[in-house]
Structure 1
Amino acid sequence: MLSFWSLMRAYWFSDKWKEAWSLTLVVAFLTALSSKAGVWFAEASGELINSIAYFHSSTNEAPLGTLLGHAAFLVALVIFKDAGITGTKSFVSATLHRRWRGWLNGRFNDALLDANHTHFHAQHGADTAPDNIDQRVQESIKGMTGGAIGLAMGVMAVASSVFFVGQKLLETSTEVRGFEFLGEYGSVVFALVAVAAYVPVNTWIAVKLGGMLERLSIRMQKAEGSYRGELSTLLRRSFHVASARGEAVQRTMHERLYTEIDRTWSRLIWVNAGYGSFERIYNFVGARVVAYAPGLLPFVHNRIDLKGYITGAELVNSLISQCSWFIHVMPAIATLRANSRRVIDLARAIENVQKPVEFYRRTGDSDFRYTTQNPVFGLSVQNLRLNHQGHGSEPFLVCDRLGFRRGEWTFLKGESGCGKTSLIKALNGLWPYGGGTIAFPQGVTTFYAAQEVKLPPVTLKELVCLPQGPENHHDAAVAAALHKAGLGEFIEHLADEAKAGKSWDQLLSGGQKQKLVVARILLHKPGLLFLDEATGALDPESKIAFHQAIKDNCPGVTVISVMHEAVPPRSASGEEFYHSVLTIADGVATKEPLAPSLPAEITEILTQPSALAEGWLRIPRRLRAVTRNEGQARLPG
């Protein structure tokens, strides 16, 4: 779906081709029937006008009955055409629109939300990332499919009308005085010449105006998408705006974004108004001048009667109207092209990131290799370097060799901005630029827990079961995980998408959301766990409980954790959760065993020699052996 026509025909050559072609054929049949009804309408109009013109004629034996009969037939024909044929065609075409849009929407969702993390890569690492993907998937696809179906029906109507109307014009054609060499086809030739002289010139004008409409429509979509995106962002962080009293700044930003909408909209209004005026003048001249001109000479020279003249004029008017289809729908064509261009750009962006490494190499250095190894060796990293976008940029983080053995807990520390989160992203294949080899333990599941937790509008059980589906876990197991995570009060609401009228994302506090992440970890029991400041919203006791729950319920898990604390937390009994510390300083990552820490009481004694004799007696016997070795290195003198 990387070009206009491939995008247009994809649905009709997909696994839904039977559905697509069945609905299309019904629409085509009803469109042809409607065109034929247009010929009947022209004939009935001629009969009605003729009955009015000869109402007082002496040869008309029943003038009122004839007039009422023709009028009734014309009304019945209108009802049949507009209510029956057109109404049914609208229903079937709307169904086709719904099915096509649903299929196309599903294809893009599948493409964006695949195992390749396409939705992530499509928005990062390149200057050509598509803007407002949500608007493209929803509004652009909806507008494009609806516009395409409407335009396709118009093409069918043009073809069928030209056939039926042309056939009728040939049947009623007559000789024109002064143009006897044309024979009995004189009047039809006049009609075709009038249409050919009038329609193409005005179509060219319409195409030029349509190009302006297309460009303005694209600008309008971008501007409205940016404004809507900023409003959505505001609603997600309204607390932060309120607490920082940032309403004035936010309002200024909204005004700036809406100014672009207003400016583009103003230009669009001018062009639309001009196009509307052009179309109305065109319709009047076509229906009242061009349509009646070809038959005027035969009528003046008594080659045709009034009924024939009116019928012929209505047929020519119908032919002009159908051949003017491009003029009537040019704004719709402009909108269709604008929508299809945005959908095609998204499809190309999706296609470009199917091989992320090659994609990122276009805008920077990217040479990551992700392999697997025997689980005994855990996670290994070799020659890792992380860069920013741009070819030849210097790495901001390097690491020659790292190893995280099975069951090892590593505490990752460093100053803000040193690259801790970037390293975690790189280990998970979510950092675009740099290089190195990362070997994962084979057959071991991984779990990434970020600081900010976003909860989709699904049931509580589905939230706990993520990234798997609820059918993979029994209610009892989910309830047990919630209880161990400290959220046992919500167990009875496993099947609910909301509580007290609020979604779970609105109801749960930041700390409760992080406890929900603990429940996910306990339920899935991953072998490799990444904690990216996943305890930032918890109090000290809850942080200890967070770690203890993982320690007790996930034996053998390898943990790599980023936290704000200078030292990692310990259990309530004073035991260390972590075995090693990975320090990032001056752009270099180094790993070393975590030094055993001593209770504060012992540290005070060791740093104050005058209190050593008294303090030694207060040290529990079980700690003296450790203290003796430490004290040799820390006592002054």
Structure 2
Amino acid sequence: MRGFWGLMRAYWFSNRWREAWALAAVIALLTALSSKAGVWFAEASGELVNSIAFFHDAANTSPLTTLLTNAGWLVLLVVIKDAVITGARTLVSATLHRKWRGWLNSRFNEALLDPNHTHFHAQHSSDAGAPDNIDQRVQESIKDMTGGAIGLAMGVLAVATSLFFVGQKLIADSTEVAGLEFLGDYGSAVLALVVVAAYVPANTWIAMKLGGMLERLSVRMQQAEGSYRGELTTLLRRSFHVAASRGENVQKAMHDRLYSDIDQTWSRLNRVNAGYSSFELVYNFVGARIIAYTPGLVPFIHNRIDLKGYITGAELVNSLISQCSWFIHVMPAIATLRANSRRVIELAEAIENVRQPAEFYRQTGQSDFRYTQQNPVFGLTIQHLELMQKGADAAPFLTTERLRFRRGEWTFLKGESGSGKTSLIKAINGLWAYGRGTVVFPEGVKTFYAAQEVKLPPVSLKELVCLPDTPDDHSDTKAAAALHHAGLGEFIEHLAEGSREGHSWDQILSGGQKQKLIVARILLQQPGLLFLDEATAALDPDGKTAFHQAIKDNCPDAIVISVMHEAIAPRSATGSEFYHSVLTIADGIATKKPLVPTLPAELTTILANPPVRSIAKTPPQEDGWLRITRMRLRQK
């Protein structure tokens, strides 16, 4: 769907083409009927004016009856044209708008949420071309673009049908015009068409210039509105942090600055809109009251046509001007259409660019990651991995040699802040842009990534527990058991609820409870490869122990790679180690070694400074366990 026309025709050549063309055909038929009704309206107007003009004529034997009859026919035509035909066309066009928008929305959702994580790459492409305010583009811009396109097509069709029907009637009623005798009986029709052709295009050119200004300002307004709305949305997510740091003044200044951009753009947009409105009003008056009555004036003066013919001809010309002026009347809408289509096209192009992430990132740096699979008995293997930043000549900031993680092995990943711990986890999962190396996953093993910050979508509690699976993939009993083992048993009775007392689960659950919810997901899905990226940061020491113990008990064969800020890996309540190895990042190099068990600080102090027994004449015999412990400390 690259380009404007590609975006416009995609729906009409999709698997929904029958629906699209059927609705479009109905709209075309109703538009043609509306144009034909315009001709009938002009004739009825001429009859009514004629009955008024000759009301006192001696030849008119029933003036009141004629007047009322003509007025009744005119009112009936108005009802048929505006209430029946136009109303039906509005309903069908609104249905087409809804269908088209729904199809486009589904296409963008499918493209953004594909297995390649396009939504992630589109926003984190490290490129100035990354689209801003994707939510606004998918919702508002698509809605306004499709509605504007349908309106534009209806207007073009109305112009074409009006030219046919009105032109046909003008030619049928045409007569000779003094000074244009060489045109014969087509004089008045040609004169009417020439007047319309001279008046409408010149003013359309002016309207297009003003429309260009409106388009640019509309795009700028959308960007400013989107930035302000995005900041307000972010504030709602971090309102606690703003309150705790007393950052309201800084936040308010930021809002004022963003709204100032909206206000200034809005002011310029209002001035252009006001100017366009004034231009349109003057144009309409001149067209309806002067231009429309000019072509028939000469033959009327020379008695070539009567008053009825003159009024009918003027109404026909007015109808033709009105229909041909449709571009002028909707130029602001066309400007908005172009602005919205530009926003949607930019998003479509960004999506298309990152559909193949590796090829996209190679344009701005080195991106040569390979992801393959092997027999699950060999676990996870990483070979010669190098992580880089954007740039063709960028040097690696993190390097690893061959790393192997056995089935059931727990690895503690540690390093200073900014050393690249999270970057390494992202690269293993295919979420880092630049670098090279090979990652070999165990075949057929489910992978689970648990991050520090947990965002919960507004769905039922069971759906939250089952993510990324669907609720149908797991029974209520299994979901409840997972919640119980994770320490969230008090919420089991609310499993089917999407909220409680008007609040979503994201608002109800604390940070620690959200991380326990992650445990419930792990217990339910039984992943064979688990990445914990500071997933216990919101838990107290006992909570961290329970977190690890639940995984240890229920996922005995899982490979676990965990990022934590602790200097020492957590242990079980009995003092046994959860982790088997430690992966340390220092000076840009990641090295993996077996984990050397440590002793509590109190015991280490006692062993380093044993108590002196002054009454003993011979050295006391050490307890066997203490002797072994002392030897291990010396070895360390």
TM over 0.5: yes
Q: Deviations over 1:583-608 (max 9, x none)?
A: 11111111111112224443122211
Aligned position for 1:286: 287
Aligned position for 1:98: 98
Aligned position for 1:43: 43
How far apart are the structure 2 equivalents of 1:600 and 1:258?
Answer: 56
Aligned position for 1:623: 625
How far apart are the structure 1 equivalents of 2:154 and 2:554?
Answer: 63
User: What SS does the corresponding residue of 1:435 show, helix, strand or coil?
Assistant: strand
- Cα distance change, pair 564–632 in 1 and its aligned pair in 2 (3 A): closer
Aligned position for 1:465: 466
Letter in 2 for 1:627: T
In the alignment, does 2:339 pair up with 1:338? yes
How far apart are the structure 1 equivalents of 2:502 and 2:197?
Answer: 65
Measured after TM superposition, the shift of residue 617 of structure 1 is 11
- Cα distance change, pair 618–254 in 1 and its aligned pair in 2 (3 A): farther
How far apart are the structure 2 equivalents of 1:618 and 1:47?
Answer: 130
- Cα distance change, pair 464–631 in 1 and its aligned pair in 2 (3 A): closer
How far apart are the structure 1 equivalents of 2:301 and 2:103?
Answer: 59
Measured after TM superposition, the shift of residue 487 of structure 1 is 0.5
How far apart are the structure 2 equivalents of 1:7 and 1:322?
Answer: 27
Aligned position for 1:517: 518
How far apart are the structure 2 equivalents of 1:556 and 1:207?
Answer: 68
Letter in 2 for 1:556: D
Letter in 1 for 2:210: L
Percent identity (aligned): 73
TM-score, normalised by the number of residues in structure 1: 0.97
Equivalent residue runs for 1:485-500 within 5 Å: 485-500=486-501
Measured after TM superposition, the shift of residue 626 of structure 1 is 2.5
Aligned position for 2:78: 78
Compare 170-179 and 129-138 and name the one that shifted more: 170-179
In the alignment, does 2:232 pair up with 1:231? yes
Letter in 2 for 1:131: D
Equivalent residue runs for 1:159-558 within 5 Å: 159-558=160-559
In the alignment, does 2:30 pair up with 1:33? no
Measured after TM superposition, the shift of residue 501 of structure 1 is 2.2
Structure 2: give runs of 5+ residues left out of the alignment. Answer: none
Q: Kindly indicate whether the alpha-carbon contact (under 8 Å) linking 2:387 and 2:397 is maintained by their aligned counterparts in 1.
A: yes
Measured after TM superposition, the shift of residue 329 of structure 1 is 1.2
User: What SS does the corresponding residue of 2:104 show, helix, strand or coil?
Assistant: helix
Equivalent residue runs for 1:580-595 within 5 Å: 580-595=581-596
Q: Deviations over 1:95-152 (max 9, x none)?
A: 1111111111011001101111000000112221001100000000000010011111
Measured after TM superposition, the shift of residue 373 of structure 1 is 1.5
Q: Deviations over 1:152-205 (max 9, x none)?
A: 111111111110000100110001122211110010011011111111111111
Q: Kindly indicate whether the alpha-carbon contact (under 8 Å) linking 1:514 and 1:537 is maintained by their aligned counterparts in 2.
A: yes
Aligned position for 1:127: 128
Letter in 2 for 1:416: S
Letter in 2 for 1:418: S
How far apart are the structure 2 equivalents of 1:601 and 1:322?
Answer: 92
How far apart are the structure 2 equivalents of 1:190 and 1:597?
Answer: 102
Q: Kindly indicate whether the alpha-carbon contact (under 8 Å) linking 2:44 and 2:74 is maintained by their aligned counterparts in 1.
A: yes
Letter in 2 for 1:387: M
How far apart are the structure 2 equivalents of 1:388 and 1:113?
Answer: 25
Q: Kindly indicate whether the alpha-carbon contact (under 8 Å) linking 2:174 and 2:187 is maintained by their aligned counterparts in 1.
A: yes
In the alignment, does 2:44 pair up with 1:57? no
Measured after TM superposition, the shift of residue 363 of structure 1 is 1.8
How far apart are the structure 1 equivalents of 2:9 and 2:630?
Answer: 81
Q: Kindly indicate whether the alpha-carbon contact (under 8 Å) linking 1:605 and 1:612 is maintained by their aligned counterparts in 2.
A: no
Question: Over aligned residues, Cα RMSD in angstroms?
Answer: 1.8
Measured after TM superposition, the shift of residue 578 of structure 1 is 0.4
Q: Kindly indicate whether the alpha-carbon contact (under 8 Å) linking 1:460 and 1:496 is maintained by their aligned counterparts in 2.
A: yes
How far apart are the structure 2 equivalents of 1:247 and 1:376?
Answer: 55
Q: Kindly indicate whether the alpha-carbon contact (under 8 Å) linking 1:485 and 1:519 is maintained by their aligned counterparts in 2.
A: yes
Aligned position for 2:19: 19
Letter in 2 for 1:54: F
Q: Kindly indicate whether the alpha-carbon contact (under 8 Å) linking 1:602 and 1:619 is maintained by their aligned counterparts in 2.
A: no
How far apart are the structure 1 equivalents of 2:317 and 2:527?
Answer: 76
How far apart are the structure 2 equivalents of 1:509 and 1:448?
Answer: 20
Letter in 2 for 1:561: S
How far apart are the structure 2 equivalents of 1:285 and 1:221?
Answer: 35
Q: Kindly indicate whether the alpha-carbon contact (under 8 Å) linking 2:112 and 2:351 is maintained by their aligned counterparts in 1.
A: yes
How far apart are the structure 1 equivalents of 2:7 and 2:615?
Answer: 85
How far apart are the structure 2 equivalents of 1:471 and 1:614?
Answer: 74
Q: Deviations over 1:24-44 (max 9, x none)?
A: 111111111011000000000
How far apart are the structure 2 equivalents of 1:471 and 1:19?
Answer: 32
How far apart are the structure 2 equivalents of 1:618 and 1:248?
Answer: 69
How far apart are the structure 2 equivalents of 1:179 and 1:260?
Answer: 59
User: What SS does the corresponding residue of 2:402 show, helix, strand or coil?
Assistant: strand
- Cα distance change, pair 7–612 in 1 and its aligned pair in 2 (3 A): farther
Compare 544-553 and 317-326 and name the one that shifted more: 317-326
How far apart are the structure 1 equivalents of 2:321 and 2:625?
Answer: 102
Measured after TM superposition, the shift of residue 349 of structure 1 is 0.6
User: What SS does the corresponding residue of 2:401 show, helix, strand or coil?
Assistant: strand
Compare 359-368 and 36-45 and name the one that shifted more: 359-368
How far apart are the structure 1 equivalents of 2:489 and 2:297?
Answer: 89
How far apart are the structure 1 equivalents of 2:253 and 2:621?
Answer: 63
Q: Kindly indicate whether the alpha-carbon contact (under 8 Å) linking 1:461 and 1:470 is maintained by their aligned counterparts in 2.
A: yes
User: What SS does the corresponding residue of 2:323 show, helix, strand or coil?
Assistant: helix
Q: Kindly indicate whether the alpha-carbon contact (under 8 Å) linking 2:607 and 2:630 is maintained by their aligned counterparts in 1.
A: no
User: What SS does the corresponding residue of 1:437 show, helix, strand or coil?
Assistant: strand
Count of aligned residue pairs for this structure pair: 634
Measured after TM superposition, the shift of residue 611 of structure 1 is 4.8
User: What SS does the corresponding residue of 1:164 show, helix, strand or coil?
Assistant: helix
Measured after TM superposition, the shift of residue 64 of structure 1 is 1.0
- Cα distance change, pair 74–497 in 1 and its aligned pair in 2 (3 A): same
Q: Deviations over 1:33-74 (max 9, x none)?
A: 011000000000000000111111111111111111111111
How far apart are the structure 2 equivalents of 1:364 and 1:619?
Answer: 66
Q: Kindly indicate whether the alpha-carbon contact (under 8 Å) linking 1:605 and 1:611 is maintained by their aligned counterparts in 2.
A: no
Measured after TM superposition, the shift of residue 15 of structure 1 is 1.0
User: What SS does the corresponding residue of 1:122 show, helix, strand or coil?
Assistant: helix
How far apart are the structure 2 equivalents of 1:320 and 1:612?
Answer: 115
How far apart are the structure 1 equivalents of 2:607 and 2:491?
Answer: 48
Q: Kindly indicate whether the alpha-carbon contact (under 8 Å) linking 2:20 and 2:96 is maintained by their aligned counterparts in 1.
A: yes
User: What SS does the corresponding residue of 2:123 show, helix, strand or coil?
Assistant: coil
User: What SS does the corresponding residue of 1:556 show, helix, strand or coil?
Assistant: coil
- Cα distance change, pair 581–45 in 1 and its aligned pair in 2 (3 A): same
Q: Deviations over 1:261-313 (max 9, x none)?
A: 11111111111111111111111111111111111110000000000000000
Letter in 1 for 2:632: E
Letter in 2 for 1:56: H
Letter in 1 for 2:625: L
